[in-house]
Structure 1
Amino acid sequence: MMKLEGVVAFVMTSEAGSISMAARRLGLAKSVVSERLAELERTLGTTLIQRSTRKLSLTGSGLTFLPRAQRILREAEEATSELAARSGKLVGPLRISAPVGFGILHLGPAVGRFLRDYPEIELSLELDDSFVDAATGGFDAVLRHGAMGDGRLIARRLASSRRLLVASPGYLDRNGTPATLGDLERHSAILYSNRASDWRFSALENGRSRSDGGWSVVRPRAALRVNSGLVMRDAAMEGLGIALLPTFFVHNALASGALIEVNIGLQAEGAELFLAYPKDHGAAAKIRAFGDSLRRSFGTPPYWEKP
């Protein structure tokens, strides 16, 4: 008889691209995942995955079986969620991906609150700054800050964050404080390497961004490019240059005076925080509960936006 745990191992390995990554996401030893795959192949009487020292690929049988295996898991999750919802409980696994910096700064207390409210949910949280496809990445939901334009997904807005130009007092003492876009172009910048290095600003009217959608773009000179918002913040605090960062990275540094906001009279493009997941997902009830719990933990407005 085919065991569900073998199907889980096969689907996760196919989506993750390696047995090691699948084991990591499942919280299991690599040897356990390998044995479950081997047992599934013995049960089906065919090889599903072609293994080599350098790469892993699906056989013809594996490609045929994969969509059916994914459907088996979706239906099993939907059945479990439906029964749990009828009994007033949320139970079982929930796999979430989130950005590294935001996770380190803000998700520890929020996750603790969620698991105290829903102790029967088995939460797996993986922090990753690379792009994770919420539809095919092997997660139930992905926490992102930035634009969402994927028609395959439901995106629940969790919180907002402004992006601010910030620099250390020492840097501004040595180099002066820019007051215009032209001034800004002559300064050293700390840039995030995983997105376009342009800085986009909208003019303000009565303290708010203009409604015509017009943007002014600055292409600053890079003193440092790095794929971590936390390293950007720390580099700015060390006086390496000016950084454009969401308030959820810099609110404490601004409060302590380690960083100073650089005001050039323009509003930088914001950073909305979303929880994204595929439509008709079997774990939708758990995902909604997780999103609601995060919103309560962050507050409205979120605590990083409060004076």
Structure 2
Amino acid sequence: MKFDGIAAFVATAEAGSISAASRRLGLAKSVVSERLAELERSLGNRLIQRTTRKLSLTEGGHMFLPRAQRILREAQEASAELAARSGTLAGPLRLSAPVSFGILHLGPALNTFIAQHREIDVSLELDDRFVDAMAGGFDAVLRHGAVGDTRQIARRLAVSRRLLVASPAYLAEHGNPRSLAELAQHRGVLYANREGDWRFATGHGWSVVRPKAALRVNNGLVMRDAAAAGLGIALLPTFLLHGSVTSGTLVPLDVGAESEGAELFITYARDHGASAKIRALADSLRRSFGDPPYWDRWD
């Protein structure tokens, strides 16, 4: 049983196709296919059922996958530990992050980290969907908001506020809400990957506002631009808003209650262990973002 065959199988199972696995591994499709076939011959079992339309794991493939993932992870961690002992961090580091945050803030911060650790092979995928680090084959996932998965460890990187904002044109036409009751009568630009409820801290606990949706979308930059275009009010994290507020494109609203905040976490599988690479990345990102983060400093 060859190690590269195990790597080809895990990449194919996690990516869902040989084409996607070949892109992840940086190999030709024919090479990945041959390594899969060789692994199946060495095991004496078919692991993947191939048809012209789709690829699926056999019963044996489902049984073998978690062990194969563990073999790869252990090998990668052993390699990273040896490199760390020699004073060098090296090897692959596969990350996932939300699209808007990745474009605006993670990219520049990651450039700094890579420049300091040239031997680390970083792979970043931007995705606004909920990404499972374990199922997706990622070493770590950056996420805003609660993790809620006991299989994963979450380390806080930064805190972000959320602000209600609207364009001057929208407020001129529809008025400026001064209370939660008035806010509920307005149109909202809502995040599609989460319940559309807006939560606010009051003296009696949390109050929920359910505005009528002018638009539901799963990307913060599109939400920001829709609010700037006057479609409705948006509740957005400050990391998306700094330039728009300082330029006057969007106006923060005061409804007499503070909106629920957001925290930025780096998460990884509990059985992964906090590898030296993940610890170094988390430390580097915290330094780049600052405390409080630079997107919450308005002067």
Report deviation, 1:280: 3.4
Shift of 1:299: 0.8
Residue 71 of structure 1: aligned partner: 70
Say which is worse superposed, 117-126 or 50-59, in terms of deviation: 50-59
Q: Distance in 2 between matches of 1:23 and 1:91?
A: 22
1:141 aligns with 2:140: yes
**Do structure 1's residue 14 and structure 2's residue 5 form an aligned pair?**
no
Say if 2:278 is the partner of 1:287. Answer: yes
Q: Distance in 2 between matches of 1:65 and 1:176?
A: 61
What SS class does the counterpart of residue 160 from structure 1 fall into?
A: strand
Distance between the aligned counterparts of 2:50 and 2:56, measured in 1? 7
Superposition misfits of 4+ residues, deviation over 6 angstroms: none
**Mean Cα displacement is larger for which, 54-63 or 27-36?**
27-36
Deviates more, 1:62-71 or 1:139-148: 62-71
How many residues are paired up?
Answer: 298
| Distance in 2 of aligned mates of 1:301 and 1:28 | 43
In 2: Cα distance, 1:241 partner to 1:297 partner: 33
Q: TM-score scaled to structure 1, two decimals? A: 0.92
> Does residue 1:226 correspond to 2:225, yes or no?
no
**How far did 1:9 drift?**
1.3
Q: Residues 81 and 282 of structure 1 are in contact (CA less than 8 Å); yes or no, is this contact kept in structure 2?
A: no
Secondary structure of the 1:234 match is helix
TM-aligned CA deviation for residue 5 of structure 1: 1.8
**TM-score, L = length of structure 2:** 0.94
Structure 2: 5+ residue stretches without partners: none
User: What are the ranges of 5 or more consecutive residues in structure 1 without an aligned counterpart?
Assistant: 204-209
Is the 1:78–1:283 Cα contact (8 Å) retained in structure 2?
A: no
Residues 180 and 256 in structure 2, CA contact (< 8 A), matched pair in contact too: no
1:249 to 230, 233, 240: 240
In structure 1, C-alpha distance between the alignment counterparts of 2:59 and 2:271, rounded to whole Å = 28
| 134-143 vs 276-285, greater mean Cα deviation | 276-285
| Aligned 1:191-230 pairs, distance under 5 A | 191-203=190-202, 214-230=205-221
CA contact (8 A) 1:169 1:260 kept: yes
Partner Cα distance (1:101, 1:30) in 2: 31
Q: Secondary structure at the match of 1:144?
A: strand
Q: Aligned match of 1:268 in 251, 256, 259? A: 259
Does the aligned pair in 2 maintain the 1:167–1:237 contact within 8 Å? yes
Q: Give 1:298's match in structure 2, choosing from 273, 289, 293.
A: 289
Partner of 1:88: 87
Matches within 5 A, 1:32-111: 32-111=31-110
